[in-house]
Structure 1
Amino acid sequence: MAKLEPEARIRLDTFKAVTVKHAHLQVVDDQLSLWVEEHAEATHVLLCGPGGVGKTTALGVVAERLTREESDRFVVPILVLEPIPPDQGPYLRLDYYWQIIEALKEHVLVKELVSSVAHLMAAPRATRVKLGAIDWLKMRHVAEQALIRARVRAVFADEGHRLMQGDGSYSVDEQLEWVKSLSNRTKVLHVLAGPYALFGFRNTSGQLARRGRDIHFARYHVEDKEERTAFVAALKYLLERVPLEVDVPALLSRWRWWASGCVGCIGVLKDWLVDAVAATFVQHGTSLTEEVLTQTMPHPARRLSLEMEARAGERQVALHNSESAKKFQALLKQPPKKAEQTESALGSSPKAGEEKEASTIREGASESFPLPQITPKPTPRRVGSRAPERDPVGEAGATLERKNTGCPFTEVIPVSLAQMEEANLFCFECPVCLAVRDMHPKGAIVRFRWHPRRTTSTPNRGRRWIRREGVWTPSAS
C-alpha cells in the first residue's frame, strides 16, 4: 500500500487546514456572532443546510474567533460539542450532560463540582443509562453549574438533530422545551447545526417560535451571476493554496464542471481537492492534472444523493416560508367579529353577569310555570366497565392517533429506484425513531411514508438503507 512521505504529509495537512471565508460562510458568521453576543430572549438557534455546505466549518470559525478575542482566561465563551449518536435506541439527554461536564472538568471553578459525580462520569455508558432519578438530577445540576461558572455564552452542537431524537418517550416539542429550560436556567444559547430535517422542528408552538432563531446555510447556484462570482472566488482561493503546480486560469474556466462535481457545496469541493492532492502525492506527481481530478471526483451516486437531498430541503424551506406568509396575511384580513368581542367583553364583567341572570329570570316569569321534572335514577355501572364517552372515528380518529403516536420524519429519500434495484435492497431505517419500513415506489420520488414512532430499543438486524452524515447507504448487516 502506497504511503505519503513525511514532507508530503506535512504539505497535505497544511492544505487541509485551509479555511475558505466565502460569501455564504461570511453571512452565517455575521448572523451567528450577533446572536451569540446579543441573543436577547432567544434560547436556541437552528443552523440548517445540505451536507458538505460547511456547517461544521462555520461553527469552528465563530468559536475560534470568539475564543481568541476573549481576554479573561477564566471565561470559556463557546463550547463545541457533537451529540453522541445512539448505539442502542435513540439519544439520551444524560449523554449531553456528560459531554458538557467532560468538556469543562479541567476548569479551575468546575473541578470541585466534578468530584461529586466522578463515579458517575467514570461509569460506562450502558451503566449510565440505568441511573436513578437522584443521580440523573445531580448530573443535570453539575452540568448547569459548570456552564454558569465557566461563563459559557453559547454551546455549539454539531449534528444537533440528534438532540431531537429524545429517548423514545419524548416528542420534538418536549426536547425543544428541555433545551429552552436548560438555556433559561444557565443563560446559555444553544446552537444546533444539522441537515434540513432540523427545519421541521422550528415554530412547533408560539412560545418556541418566539424563543427560537434559524439560519439557512445555502449552497451556491451558479446559474445566478452573483453566486457564480462568489463560487469562482472560493474556487480560486483554494486552487492558489494547493501545494502543487496548478494552472489556475485553465481550471477556473471550467467553473460549471467544478460546480456540478461538488453540487455547489464548498465543503464537498474542498474534500475533492484534498483527495486529488493526496492521489498526486502518492503517484509522486508535481502538478494538479485534470486526469487526477476526474478520478477523484465524487461518485455520481453520491452526487445524486447530495443533489436530491439539497433540492428537497430547499423546496421545503421555500414552501414553508411562502405558505406561512400567505396564512399570516389571510389571518390579518379576518379580524374577530364584533359580536364575539362584545360577548367576551360582557362575559368578563361581574355586572354583565348579573344583568344576564336578571334578564333570564324576567323571560322565565313571562312564560307559564313549568311542570316539575322527575330525574331518573342513574343505573350503576358494573365494576371494570368503561364510562360513557365519545370515541374518535373516521378521519378525525386517524388524525388524532397519528398526532399522538406518529414519527415526524416523512421526507423525500434521495435514493432512486435504480439504486434500490442495483443493491437489491428496498428496506429503509428511519433516522429519527429507527423504525424499519419496506419501500416500493411507483414513481421517481421515494418518500418515507407516515409511520408510528418506534418505542423499543432493540437493535435492528438485517441489511437496510441507513442515513449517516446526511448520506443514505446500505448497511453492512
Structure 2
Amino acid sequence: MTETMMTTHLNNVSTEHHRPTGHRIRHPRIASAIDECGLLLEAGDGADLILLCGPTGAGKTTLGNFLVEAEMKHHAENLAANPGCIPAIRVEAPASGEREFSWRLFFKRILDELECELDAPRTAYGVDPGTGRVVRPRGTNPNSLAGLRTSVERSLKNRGTRFIVVDEAAHIARQCHPTLLELQFDTLKSLSNECGVQWILMGSYDLFELISLSGQLARRSHIIHFSRYREDVADDVRAFRGCLKHFGQSLPALKQVDLLKYAEVFHQNTLGCIGILRDVLVRLDLLVGRQGWSEDTLCRALLTEAQVTQILREIVEGEERIAPGLKRNLVAPHATTGRRVA
C-alpha cells in the first residue's frame, strides 16, 4: 500500500472521541486482524479460543472495539428487526487482587454489557401468606456464582451473542496454579457449548506464554499476532507515516505542524506501536496548545529512554517467544511420493 493510498484509506475512517484521552484509527494492522478474526469466526468451532497477542501499546483495546463494531454493522438488518440482539461485546478480564481469578466479577461484567439497563442480579424476596414473614425463594441464589453463570447463559442466548472479546485475558490464566490452567478455560469452553459463543482473548505476549503451557489449550487455540510497525520493513514505515499524518490532522494544536518531518523520531520513540503513538501525540497536542510548538516541547512529550528500553526489551522477548508458535511447515512435494494413503 502506497502512502497516498494509505492516507486516502485513513481519511475515509471517522475519528472518534471514544475516550477523552485520544482518538481511534483503523490502520492496516487492525483491518488485517479484523479480516482474520472474521474468517475464523465464520469457520465455526475450528478453534475454541482465538488468541490475539501483541506488544503493549499496539492498540489491542482499540482493535477489540473495532471488532465489536464490525460485527454490529454486519448484523445491521437483524438489529433493525430485533433491537434486543447484541451479536458481540467486549469486556476486560478483571484483576481483582484476589488469589484466584474472580469469575463472579467477570460474569457481572458480561451481564453489564448484555443487560446494560438492568442492575446486577438481586435476590427476590417474598411474603409467606401463612406467617406474614419475609421469605427467601427456593432455588439458586442469583447472586451466587452458579446464579450468575445461569444469568450469563440466559442473556447470551436471548441476545444472540456470537462472540465475546476479552481484553487483558492473561488475568484469567495468571491467577491460578499452572495445573489448573485447563480448568479455567474449560469454563469458557462450556459457555461456548451451551450458548454457541466464541471467545477472542486479547493480551500481551505473556498470554501466549501461559496458554502454551498446556498442550490441550494449544490444540484448541488459534494465534493471531497483532504486531507493531517495524522500522526495517518499507510497508510498515509507510503505514506508520500514514497513521502519524492522520493523527496530526485530527488533533487541533498539531494541524499546522509538519509531524512527518519527525516521523523517524516518532517511530523510534514509540517502537512502531500505534497506541503509544496516539498517547504521545495527545500529550504533545496538549503541550503545544498551552505553550506553542517547539522541538523542546516535542521532547517533553516523547517517552524517556528508560521507558523505551524497557518496552523494547519486552517486545523483543515476546516476538522471540511467539515466533515458533506462528511457524507453519509445508510438506515437500517429494515427501508424499510413494506413500500409501489409507
State the match for 2:123 in structure 1.
119
Q: Deviations over 1:336-389 (max 9, x none)?
A: xxxxxxxxxxxxxxxxxxxxxxxxxxxxxxxxxxxxxxxxxxxxxxxxxxxxxx
Match of 1:99 among 79, 93, 109: 109
Q: 2:54 aligns with which of 42, 49, 58?
A: 49
CA distance in 2, matches of 1:37, 1:306: 35
The TM-score with structure 1 as length reference comes to: 0.56
Kindly indicate whether the alpha-carbon contact (under 8 Å) linking 2:211 and 2:217 is maintained by their aligned counterparts in 1: yes
Residue matched to 1:255: 263
Amino acid of the structure 1 residue aligned with 2:192? S
Residue by residue over 1:396-430, the C-alpha shift from the partner in whole angstroms, topping out at 9 and shown as x without a partner, is xxxxxxxxxxxxxxxxxxxxxxxxxxxxxxxxxxx
- Name the SS for the 2:105 alignment partner: helix
Aligned pairs for 1:187-336 (under 5 A) are 187-202=196-211, 207-244=216-253, 246=255, 250-283=258-291, 285=292, 288-321=293-326, 325=329
Structure 2 residue 35 is matched with structure 1 residue 30 = yes
Note if contact 1:97-1:139 (Cα within 8 Å) is conserved in structure 2: yes
Which ranges of structure 1 fall in alignment gaps of 5 or more residues? 1-10, 121-130, 334-477
Count how many residue pairs are aligned between Structure 1 and Structure 2. 299
Q: Deviations over 1:143-186 (max 9, x none)?
A: 11111111111111111111113455862222222221221111
Q: Shift of residue 19 of structure 1?
A: 2.0
| Mapped contact 2:29–2:227 kept (Cα < 8 A) | yes
- Partners of 1:269 and 1:26 lie apart in 2 by 18
CA 173–12 in structure 1, closer or farther in 2 if over 3 Å, else same: closer
Once residues 136 and 315 of structure 1 are traced to their aligned partners in structure 2, the CA distance between those partners, rounded to angstroms, is 39
Deviation at 1:191, TM superposition (A): 1.1
Is the 8 Å Cα contact of residues 222 and 231 (structure 1) preserved in structure 2? no
Q: CA deviation at 1:236?
A: 1.3
Structure 2 unpaired stretches of 5+: 1-15, 125-139, 337-342
Deviation >6 Å, runs of 4+: 11-15, 131-134
Matched letter for residue 256 of structure 1: E
The one-letter code matched in structure 1 to 2:294 is T
Moved more, 252-261 or 294-303: 252-261
User: Relative contact order, CA 8 A, sep 6+: which one is greater?
Assistant: 2
In the alignment, what sits opposite 1:354? none
Q: Hey, what's the Cα distance between the residues in 2 that align with 1:268 and 1:132?
A: 44
Give identity over the alignment, percent.
Answer: 25
Larger radius of gyration: 1
Q: Is the contact made by 1:221 and 1:228 (CA closer than 8 Å) also made in structure 2?
A: yes
Query: Are residues 169 and 305 of structure 1, via their aligned partners in 2, closer, same or farther at CA, if it must alter by over 3 Å?
Result: closer
Q: 1:85 aligns with which of 87, 95, 100?
A: 95
CA RMSD of aligned residues (A): 3.3
Q: Specify which of 140, 143, 152 is matched with residue 149 of structure 2.
A: 140
Partners of 2:94 and 2:230 lie apart in 1 by 33
Q: 1:301 to 1:205 in 2, by over 3 A?
A: closer
CA deviation after TM superposition for structure 1 residue 198, in Å: 1.2
